[in-house]
Amino acid sequence: MSHIVLLGDSVFDNGAYVRGGPDVVRQVRTALPEGARATLLAVDGAVLADVTRQLARLPDDATHLVVSAGGNDALRASGLLDGRAASIAEAIAALADVRDRFRAEYRAMLDAVLARGRSTAICTIYDPRYPDPARRRLASAALTLLNDAITREAFARDLALIDLRVLCDEDADFANPIEPSVRGGEKIAGAVAALLQAPSPRSRVLARP
């Protein structure tokens, strides 16, 4: 019997932001076929290093792991966007340093997840919905560097990838600039449930409900 476990941050643990509406794990349970189960281990505010601690509570009968993590690591580094640089090359070098640290931490997290030997899927970091269009554009551009690290890991390891950038592409998909709404959660839940379809021998991208 399939048992999906959600790991990571508030992309999955969004109950505090939907004002009594169904959170993502409830929506996943509704979308799953009869007999399949879903467990939430993701924690609002978690960073990449926290996923290893979440794995300590992994149910023995878990069959599928889905990880959405890295957004809070990006937030911690976002102060870089307000800094000054003497040249474009200096600015890009600073962003590259952030990307390199992120990639190393993401790889370590993913190694710990894959060591559990379950079917695994990972998620990109979606574009934030900041009210200020300039801030939104800048953050989205910077996130492409971190999402490149995520997608490279997915394809290098033949993992399924849920591309939240494409999936949650409307303001209504967000309860606030960085948390999914009920509508966004429904889209995410549909992609998670689709993981139980016949597995592909290669990586596949889930980006539409």
pLDDT digits (tens, 9 = 90+) for 27-70: 999 999 999 999 999 999 999 999 999 999 999 999 999 999 99
Distance CA 163, CA 29 (A): 20
- Residue-level pLDDT at 79: 63
Between 164 and 74, name the one with better pLDDT. 164
Mean pLDDT, the chain, integer? 91
| Total domains, the chain | 1
Q: Please report, for the domain that includes residue 123, its CATH number.
A: 3.40.50.1110
Q: Beta strands of the chain (E only): which ranges?
A: 3-8, 37-40, 64-68, 119-123, 160-162, 174-176, 179-180, 205-206
Between 43 and 1, name the one with better pLDDT. 43
97-122 confidence digits (pLDDT tens)? 888 999 999 999 999 999 999 999 99
Range of the domain at 25: 3-206
- Residue-level pLDDT at 135: 87
